[in-house]
Structure 1
Amino acid sequence: MATQAITTAGTPRRRRRFTGGVGSDGLAGWLFAAPAIIGFAAFFVWPALRGAYFSFTEYSLLGQPDWVGFANYERLIGDSVFWNALGVTVYYVVLNIGFQTVLALAVAVLLHRLTQSIVVRGIMLVPYMIANVIAALVWFYMFDYQIGVVNEFISWVGLDRLAFFGDSALAIPTIAFINVWRHLGYTALLIFAGLQMIPKDVYEAGALDGAGELRMFRSITLPLLRPVLAMVLVVTVTGAFQVFDTVAVTTSGGPVNATRVINFYIYDVAFTRGEFGYGSALAMALFVLLAVFTYIQLRATRANQSDLG
């Protein structure tokens, strides 16, 4: 028995061969991901490449694209309407993201510190579940100068009615308010998810050191929440720069050019005037602008670093 045990122990073991190893798992993964990859390539990558090509051409749907080189980009540099649209868009983004981020952070902290009810979270998401066009139309009629419930209330308290969409000074802030109302709950829940990743013992240690709520928010919550806030800012800023539907169904770029954001200008050039080459150049300029903004945000916020040890 001892000899047999020694012999068995000394015999080298054969390596098992797994027929369903890494190769099979990798193939299965690619098969599951294939529909998404094909959809991304067909509806994002290919149109983007075609758009980049058309930006160097003079093209309409009625003819063949004619190569013009950088003529569209030279026209873009001297296009005062484009620069006005860019300025209007930046103004909208500052208003929208500024109020939305601050309010969403406050709501998320309140949810985290006071209640974590699933019902409350569901209620917060209700505005986000409404289509942008529907939300814009509802607020458009609520803000109507003649019959809008908001102006009726303003008149009832003895103040002058306001042309929310007809006044060039109020139009962009009104549109920003509508989109803040719609996206506030979604953004707050993203931040709320980040708050839940912060260990509770950090707050307990702060409380033992005598730190109040405001001090813990400034010294604990904000530093540890920085990567999540960076991600939220990238997503919201990118989305805000692409605002279109709210403008299209309320002001159509007016009054004059007060709400002609860059996406609406691209639509007007390409689909109203039929200048697809120049419209593609405008779209490529927006793409480069967003890429630069995203890079600056990620570098400035150090999104790839965490203060959690």
Structure 2
Amino acid sequence: MSSPSPARTGSTPRPAPPDDTKLALLFIAPAALGFLVFLVWPTVRGIYLSFTRFNLLRPAEFVGVDNYTRMFADPVFWNALWVTLQYVVLNIGFQTILALVIAVMMQRLTQSTWLRGLILTPYLVSNVVAAMLFLWILDYQLGFGQVVLESIGLERIPFLGSADWAIPTIAFINTWRHVGYTALLIFAGLQTIPETVYEAARMDGSSEVSTFLRITVPLLRPILALGLIITVVGSFQVFDTVAVATQGGPVNATRVLQFYIYDLAFGRFQFGYASALSVALLLVLMAVTFVQYRLTRADSTDLD
């Protein structure tokens, strides 16, 4: 007795799906090319230049670790690193707390799309424009902000002209610009928390503060960790606001590391030494990001 034909049993093999590898590589190629040309190659070139003496007027001269030895003995470098750390702590503190408050208020009071767009508006303003705006508002002689202070009985404050006020003021300016983006990021995280969790907490008699600290914050941990990593890396690279508002003054009070690197490279043409400081900044950012990632457990969530 003959076996049933494939046509009758429905066992005809299906054609293999088309191989889209070449098409995928074609779409990836522009981004990969840009990544290699504008990120990988400058990084490799910068690491090489950090071991040389180079000023554009003559070929790079290999000097080994002399630039790094100079860096460890450079008091301006250590001051720039300390000033940068102060700025990062203030900026992250202001930005995270304000963004969390704004996000929770949007979640509890209104989820208006128009309001979200309004909150995001400062983020659409460039750092240079924001710095120029607050430079005018906070000007000691003619600033509108100084007039407001006097109208409520306070003395004028040299926000950008005082060593004590300059870094907190720059941190506030950049907080104003970026807090909307961070708030919307946290707001998106709040949307992922099931309402049933809050209903269970209310049934157990949990207060608003207790619910926020014991439920909302732990469940937001991955989003908060992502926001912290993004904002910390961005804060370490602050440059525009300092370059426009204070130029590193008064007396190096706002000479952050990025501005010092720029001054060495394009002001003094010490590209080798500037590259060494850039490599040091890269290593600091890698270490900070790794520590943040491990401490915050950004790769896991309590919702699972």
Instruction: Verify same fold: TM over 0.5.
Output: yes
The alpha carbon displacement at 1:13 in A equals 2.8
Give the Cα–Cα distance (whole angstroms) in 1 for the partners of residues 249 and 179 of structure 2: 26
Q: Does 1:17 align with 2:12?
A: no
Give the Cα–Cα distance (whole angstroms) in 1 for the partners of residues 148 and 170 of structure 2: 20
Residues 99-146 of structure 1 show CA distances to partners (whole Å, capped at 9, x for unaligned) of: 100110111111112111100100000000001100110000100011
Kindly report which structure 2 residues correspond to 1:270-289, keeping only aligned pairs within 5 A, or say none. 270-289=265-284
Letter matched to residue 48 of structure 1 = T
Matched with 2:229 is 234
Residues 158-206 of structure 1 show CA distances to partners (whole Å, capped at 9, x for unaligned) of: 3221111111000001100100111111000001111111111111111
Tell me, what secondary structure is at the counterpart of 2:220? helix
Letter matched to residue 49 of structure 1 = V
Matched with 1:129 is 124
Counterpart pick for 1:304 among 280, 299, 303: 299
Give the Cα–Cα distance (whole angstroms) in 2 for the partners of residues 279 and 68 of structure 1: 14
Residues 41-97 of structure 1 show CA distances to partners (whole Å, capped at 9, x for unaligned) of: 110110000000000000011110000111100000000000000000000000000
Give the Cα–Cα distance (whole angstroms) in 2 for the partners of residues 216 and 157 of structure 1: 38
Matched with 1:68 is 63
Counterpart pick for 1:181 among 176, 179, 188: 176
The alpha carbon displacement at 1:208 in A equals 1.3
CA contact (8 A) 2:6 2:12 kept: no
Matched with 1:243 is 238
Q: Does 1:57 align with 2:55?
A: no
Give the Cα–Cα distance (whole angstroms) in 1 for the partners of residues 190 and 302 of structure 2: 13
Letter matched to residue 194 of structure 1 = G
Matched with 1:103 is 98
Residues 231-255 of structure 1 show CA distances to partners (whole Å, capped at 9, x for unaligned) of: 0000000000000000000000000
Kindly report which structure 2 residues correspond to 1:25-104, keeping only aligned pairs within 5 A, or say none. 26-104=21-99
Give the Cα–Cα distance (whole angstroms) in 2 for the partners of residues 254 and 73 of structure 1: 25
Q: Does 1:224 align with 2:222?
A: no
Give the Cα–Cα distance (whole angstroms) in 2 for the partners of residues 116 and 225 of structure 1: 18
CA contact (8 A) 2:150 2:156 kept: yes
Q: Does 1:264 align with 2:262?
A: no
Letter matched to residue 108 of structure 1 = A
Tell me, what secondary structure is at the counterpart of 1:63? coil
Matched with 1:165 is 160
Structure 2's unaligned 5+ residue stretches are: none
* Superposition RMSD in Å: 1.7
Give the Cα–Cα distance (whole angstroms) in 2 for the partners of residues 94 and 52 of structure 1: 28
Change (3 A) 1:157 1:38: same
Give the Cα–Cα distance (whole angstroms) in 1 for the partners of residues 288 and 100 of structure 2: 22
TM (normalized to structure 2)? Answer: 0.96
Give the Cα–Cα distance (whole angstroms) in 2 for the partners of residues 103 and 158 of structure 1: 27
Give the Cα–Cα distance (whole angstroms) in 2 for the partners of residues 36 and 201 of structure 1: 42
Give the Cα–Cα distance (whole angstroms) in 2 for the partners of residues 208 and 5 of structure 1: 67
Give the Cα–Cα distance (whole angstroms) in 1 for the partners of residues 33 and 109 of structure 2: 45
Runs of 4+ in 1 over 4 A off after TM superposition: 3-12
TM (normalized to structure 1)? Answer: 0.95
Give the Cα–Cα distance (whole angstroms) in 1 for the partners of residues 7 and 32 of structure 2: 51
Matched with 2:204 is 209
Counterpart pick for 1:155 among 150, 154, 162: 150
